[in-house]
Structure 1
């Protein structure tokens, strides 16, 4: 079950559409930029928003994969433009913002989906500080820089919405994900603060705290094999709903329960997660190179 925490205005907009029988999408005729659009949730989201009449701007590192997704969007009758960009390169992000604003004047909706996950115990990370640096680069600094570049035009037109694909880990605080969850929690918190400064300008934010989604990012983790997970298309449907309804947060019931437990019984929560930590060992991809892992991971 997913819990949508909506603003009063979002609830009113949704109610009005239901009462009037309006089946059109608020995305129709709008410009939606999706990062990480070359695969997984990003690709599925791009195709879904294009079907609702939006012009979708595809952003990812791999130009060849972006061309494939663009072709798929256009084959379905949609409109798309592709922009190859490494979000960890600040100068490249700034250049992307300049190009997008020159070609489209403003972005109405932004989906910060691109991300990197690392599942590795702290005792395997003592000499791998770069694990923390690169997750922050992709999951926090990149989307914040992009959002900051696009915000002035959103505020000037008095319309905009940003959806951040984060994780239920920001509520659960699961072991072995210190680098990943910390970077996503930073984006989650930054967006909640930013939303209070842009509220009067009708620019809003949604933090989507997804549980497991079956994407290439999770493939190296053996612990996920056979576990229940959303498909990219199912996750994209939730992103589209968040774009249309503009809730503050999209949580899972399990994530909310874990957050409550962390608040009311923090030491009990620590004890329970300590047991989970021992029960679920590190994946082969997380082990030192001498034991068969890829040192670049």
Structure 2
């Protein structure tokens, strides 16, 4: 699909119009943004993390691949190097904070720092309130990976970014953070915490050329959405399109990336919260979740 065709498709489906418009008017390329720079991507073994890593490596960036599945990371690294790119594998279960801290220390020892941190790894849980009364651990483990693991990585690599006065933290959030995600309360809340953290850290570092970018991704056709049969025929980006949005964020360094529809819904939520609640409720009860 050519650039104009892709733009029209995304306008029709309300996916990422803002990104497509930015692509049409931008001057610099992904190579300009990542050549000879170090980009760490969590959740890099599959899905959008893997797709983004391939695109960044092809553009000259050194990609540090972080995920639990070492075999898949090494396979990806071999594919990247076979194409002339550069990649390093750091297998780690990000739920294990001791292991996470050890990997962060090794990355600093091996590379001296990270230019771009992409907090992409995540866990999604679909469970209604009445199914959650005795499952506090669902909220705990979702926060552990989606929020606290990302916080630890930010705290590990932000000092070097601030010292160099150059860096970017890209946080993969959900469009549900703008229009709501009934039935996914634990997941949406964990991503909202990361979003709020980024807003406050951005204010603290605004004059230091450190950018915190929040990407509110719509559905992406990955294993994460497979358990919900309602998403079987829903409009969704491919992993490659999701990876491209991460690359767009690195090129343009926006504060936020979100579909226009999501931004409008968030505005309605702020101005007319009762109406927004009613819309979310109708969508939830009508879904049979």
TM-score by length of 1: 0.87
The answer to which structure has the higher helix fraction is 2
Aligned equivalents of 2:288 and 2:71: distance in 1?
Answer: 36
**Count of aligned pairs between the two proteins:** 272
After TM superposition, the structure 1 = structure 2 runs for residues 9-28 of structure 1, keeping only pairs within 5 Å, are 18=27, 24-28=31-35
Q: Output the aligned Cα RMSD.
A: 1.8
Alignment pair present for 1:139 and 2:146? yes
The structure-2 alpha-carbon separation of the partners of 1:87 and 1:271, relative to structure 1 and needing over 3 Å to count, comes to same
In 1, are the aligned partners of 2:56 and 2:63 still within 8 Å (CA)?
Answer: yes
The structure-2 alpha-carbon separation of the partners of 1:83 and 1:234, relative to structure 1 and needing over 3 Å to count, comes to same
Match of 2:81 in 1: 74
In 1, are the aligned partners of 2:30 and 2:250 still within 8 Å (CA)?
Answer: no
**Secondary structure at 2:263 match in 1:** helix
Deviations 1:53-104 (A, max 9, x none): 0000000011111111111211221100000111111111111111001000
The one of 16, 33, 36 aligned to 1:29: 36
The one of 255, 261, 277 aligned to 2:268: 261
After TM superposition, the structure 1 = structure 2 runs for residues 175-214 of structure 1, keeping only pairs within 5 Å, are 175-214=182-221
In 2, are the aligned partners of 1:3 and 1:250 still within 8 Å (CA)?
Answer: no
Aligned equivalents of 1:39 and 1:271: distance in 2?
Answer: 36
Match of 1:127 in 2: 134
Aligned equivalents of 2:129 and 2:140: distance in 1?
Answer: 14
The structure-2 alpha-carbon separation of the partners of 1:245 and 1:23, relative to structure 1 and needing over 3 Å to count, comes to closer
Aligned equivalents of 2:29 and 2:87: distance in 1?
Answer: 25
Aligned equivalents of 1:28 and 1:95: distance in 2?
Answer: 27
Match of 1:216 in 2: 223
In 2, are the aligned partners of 1:204 and 1:246 still within 8 Å (CA)?
Answer: yes
Aligned equivalents of 1:264 and 1:128: distance in 2?
Answer: 34
Aligned equivalents of 2:163 and 2:96: distance in 1?
Answer: 27
After TM superposition, the structure 1 = structure 2 runs for residues 1-297 of structure 1, keeping only pairs within 5 Å, are 1=11, 2=16, 4=18, 18=27, 24-282=31-289
The CA deviation at 1:164 is: 0.5
For structure 2, the 5+ residue unaligned runs are: 1-10
In 2, are the aligned partners of 1:4 and 1:247 still within 8 Å (CA)?
Answer: no
For structure 1, the 5+ residue unaligned runs are: 6-10, 283-297
In 1, are the aligned partners of 2:66 and 2:92 still within 8 Å (CA)?
Answer: yes
**Secondary structure at 2:84 match in 1:** coil
